[in-house]
Amino acid sequence: MAKSKEKEIRTNAMRMLDKLKIPYKVNTYECEEFIDAIHISDMLGQPYETVFKTLVTVGKSGEHYVFVIPIHKELNMKQAARCVGEKDLQLLPTRLLLATTGYIRGGCTAIGMKKAFPTVIDESAATLAKMIVSGGRIGSQIVLAPADFIRAVNGRFEAVCA
């Protein structure tokens, strides 16, 4: 059942997009705990190539980097490290996600994180009219143009998938 606009919970990501005057649409779905994005896409009838997951990594330098990739793909860690100038990258442990980004697993998005980390979006998004990312909480998604997403996160497109 769709939620009314009055009762819709505004996330940091949505507030950031509003502030930047970036047009977007919010999809909501019923979900009380983390379910993987493939399952959500299947439930909502969304093509996997249009839905993106957000991965937070830590480099050997201790710096954090964000990668946004299609949900059915894997991050190529060597390629990703090269594109951000690191020798090695590791995924941020889930237990550190909230403290680092302000978001929880299943609700993490590159838009409106506690700190603006360098963000790389897989180049496959560049050819899409719209892309779907987490809305900043479990149960919501944001649909927007890839160019607007790049602007919102000050990111760039690169080939980073295996």
* Residue given tokens 């399952």 in the structure block: 39
Q: Which domains does the chain have, with CATH numbers?
A: 50-158 (3.90.960.10)
C-alpha torsion sign, points 120, 145, 104, 32: negative
pLDDT 10s digit of each residue in the chain, 162 long?
A: 344 444 567 899 999 999 999 999 999 988 767 778 898 999 899 999 999 999 999 999 999 999 999 999 999 999 999 999 999 999 999 999 999 999 999 899 999 999 999 999 999 999 999 999 999 998 899 999 999 999 999 999 999 998
pLDDT of the residue at 6:
41
Residues found in the chain: 162
Q: DSSP letters along 40-63, please?
A: HHHHHT--GGGBEEEEEEEETTS-
- What is each CA distance from 36 to 73, 89, 102, 105, 135, in whole angstroms? 13, 23, 19, 10, 14
Cα(9)–Cα(31) distance, integer angstroms: 14
pTM of the model as a whole: 0.92
Q: How far apart are CA 32 and CA 21, in angstroms?
A: 30
Q: Which two three-digit tokens encode residue 158?
A: 């690169």
pLDDT of residue 5: 44
2-42 per-position pLDDT tens digit: 444 445 678 999 999 999 999 999 999 887 677 788 989 99
Burial of 76 (0-12, 13-18, 19+ CB in 10 A): middle
One-letter identity of residue 34? F
